[in-house]
Amino acid sequence: MARCNKCGAEPKEITSFCSACGSKFVPRPEPISVEGESGAYYCFKHKKEVTRVTCGRCEKPICTKCLVVSAAGVRCRQCASHRTPIQLRGLVYDITGGLKGGMNYRLFWYAFLLFWIARMFIGCLR
């Protein structure tokens, strides 16, 4: 079945527009497999490079010239350019996840903030 070239969704029926992202539906070209080798494809950009690596987001076959290693795995250059910033609120929430077991995590953070405020005032008085 054809996939959307923009978002990678696989629609139930092919229409003029993608049902997932709403853009004009352009089918993604199928990867060209190498004769005699299962799981090996030609790179989507460099047509003579044989590879077994695919992008972790859009599943295009990519060679070592095209790949970008990121925290989320190997990506093609197009998918690697769609970076999302780290949300600090979620990061702080994850840090406090280990404290929920036996200790009140809010009490811990209030004590931590009070310590730093007190340290700042003591530093100003010297």
| pLDDT tens readout for residues 41-75 | 888 888 888 888 888 877 888 888 888 887 778 88
Residues 1 and 22 in one domain: yes
Lowest mean pLDDT among 54-63, 71-80, 94-103, 116-125: 94-103
Domain that holds residue 62: 41-80
Residues 73 and 100 in one domain: no
Q: What is the pLDDT of residue 111?
A: 85
Residue 75 maps to a domain? yes
Residue 1 maps to a domain? yes
Residues 73 and 93 in one domain: no
The answer on pLDDT for 10 being more than 60 is yes
Residues 54 and 25 in one domain: no
Lowest mean pLDDT among 25-34, 65-74, 92-101, 114-123: 92-101
Residues 73 and 103 in one domain: no
Q: What is the pLDDT of residue 119?
A: 85
Q: What is the pLDDT of residue 96?
A: 55
- The structure tokens listed for 37 are 């080798």
- The structure tokens listed for 120 are 């700042």
Residue 35 maps to a domain? no
Residue 50 maps to a domain? yes
CA distance 61 to 51: 7
Q: How many domains in the chain?
A: 3
pTM of the model: 0.48
